[in-house]
């Protein structure tokens, strides 16, 4: 646990740190849950940065989030856009970026921040939308839909996230920040229509009221990442959803076999 355990010597002899550990999710960051976000996002990052002072790193790549932008004024949003998060989670990611900046300026730690935009694909977290949508649709259960379904997300396939992260570790300048996004923002209701086509039937929607913390729209301007990292998302939403559908279906089959045994 980066927030509590002894980190002395953790990165000795290491060339590159990829700090992807975090407490994710916007809704859980309100109320009493905020303490967990402070510990796992802010304190853990500061302690890992401190531990990195004992070795000469080539790169310290860390995960930020599109949540730092909140409801932006301009779409697609560039890295120079104002950061005004609409959730405590987003605020902790802003704090993570600021901590990285402090250690870069004071100690020349070669920090590189990556603002990931709505990652999806095989092995996606079970609390995230597409995993829940596919698993419930395949089980014949209603899909929970928060709000009117017209919220726009720049969905980014996991393979593209990995490629962008590796490119940043290999060639990004210290102190930089990049958007890593899919480049094809779509409304959630359109993504649900694609899921219906993949599972082969219409799905019932269980409409829920939207809560605080959710930006109405996200969209990544990846001009900087293209120019400096050679990053360009290659996976269409259709292809990515097809791969995630196959993974969820296989996972559910494995679970049924396990339960039967």
- DSSP symbol at 141: P
Element (H, E) at 49: helix 44-51
Which positions ≥6 away from 39 have C-beta within 8 Å? 3, 23
Query: What is the CB neighbour count within 10 angstroms for residue 5?
Result: 8
Active-site annotation, residues: 89
| Cα(214)–Cα(212) distance, integer angstroms | 6
Question: Do the Cβ atoms of 246 and 173 come closer than 8 Å?
Answer: no
The two tokens of residue 52 are: 């990195």
Question: Do the Cβ atoms of 161 and 145 come closer than 8 Å?
Answer: no
Distances (CA, A) of 223 to 63, 68, 219, 233, 252: 19, 18, 12, 12, 39
């Amino acid at each position: 646990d980066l927030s509590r355990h002894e980190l002395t010597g953790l990165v000795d002899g290491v060339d590159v740190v990829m700090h992807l550990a975090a407490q994710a999710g916007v809704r859980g960051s309100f109320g009493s849950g905020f303490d967990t976000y402070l510990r796992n996002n802010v304190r853990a990052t500061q302690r890992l940065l401190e531990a990195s002072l004992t070795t000469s790193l080539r790169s310290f790549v860390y995960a930020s989030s599109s949540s730092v932008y909140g409801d932006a004024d301009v779409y697609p949003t560039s890295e120079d856009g104002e950061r005004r998060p609409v959730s405590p989670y987003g605020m902790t990611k802003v704090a993570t970026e600021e901590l990285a900046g402090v250690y870069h300026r004071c100690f020349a730690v070669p920090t590189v921040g990556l603002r990931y935009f709505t990652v999806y694909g095989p092995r996606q977290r079970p609390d995230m939308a597409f995993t829940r949508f596919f698993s419930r649709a395949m089980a014949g259960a209603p899909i929970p839909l928060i709000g009117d379904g017209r919220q726009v997300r720049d969905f980014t396939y996991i393979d593209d996230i990995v490629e962008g992260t590796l490119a940043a570790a290999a060639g990004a300048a210290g102190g930089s920040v990049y958007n890593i996004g899919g480049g094809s923002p779509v409304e959630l209701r359109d993504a649900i229509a694609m899921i219906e086509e993949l599972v082969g039937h219409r799905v019932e929607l269980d409409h829920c009221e939207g809560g605080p913390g959710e930006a109405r729209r996200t969209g990544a301007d990846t001009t900087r990442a293209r120019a400096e990292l050679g990053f360009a998302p290659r996976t269409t939403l259709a292809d990515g959803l097809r791969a995630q559908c196959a993974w969820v279906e296989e996972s559910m089959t494995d679970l049924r076999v396990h339960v039967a045994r």
